[in-house]
Amino acid sequence: MAETRAAIRMDVVASVDDLRVVVLDLDEGQRVPWHHHSEITDHFICMAGPMTISMRDPVDVVRLEAGDSWTVAPKRPHEVMGENGRACKFAIVQGVGVYDYVRDDSPLSKEMGKER
């Protein structure tokens, strides 16, 4: 029998041409898969955690607790999840520029995903 997972809860708080603010609520086992953005910077604010942001170019993993923040530059591949697969909640301010979501299925991203 196939396992079904709930969709990631996402609330768009504000959205204009070159800036948006969203709140994501990840349940246990959920993650935002490896991706990057062509123009925008992701400004993460942890609301409930801890959570981790894994990045490439260069490789790094950052742990955030409630109240902590981190920035991921455009074109930098990253993945977001609760620490050790637990639930987390965070806000992202995304801008300035046109929003896009480019999946990153590179071998290095897949290998880093196996480490968790």
Tens digit of pLDDT at every position of the chain (116 positions)? 444 457 789 999 999 999 999 999 999 999 999 999 999 999 999 999 999 999 999 999 999 999 999 999 999 999 999 999 999 999 999 999 999 999 987 655 555 444 43
Name beta bridge partners: 24. 10, 90
- We find that the CATH architecture of domain 9-111 is Sandwich (2.60)
> The whole model's pTM is what?
0.84
Which CA distances in Å does 96 have to 1, 40, 54, 61, 83? Answer: 44, 5, 22, 24, 28
Terminal Cα distance for the chain, rounded: 24
**pLDDT tens by residue, 82-107:** 999 999 999 999 999 999 999 987 65
> Of 12, 9, 8, nearest to 22 (Cα)?
12
Domain borders along the chain are 9-111
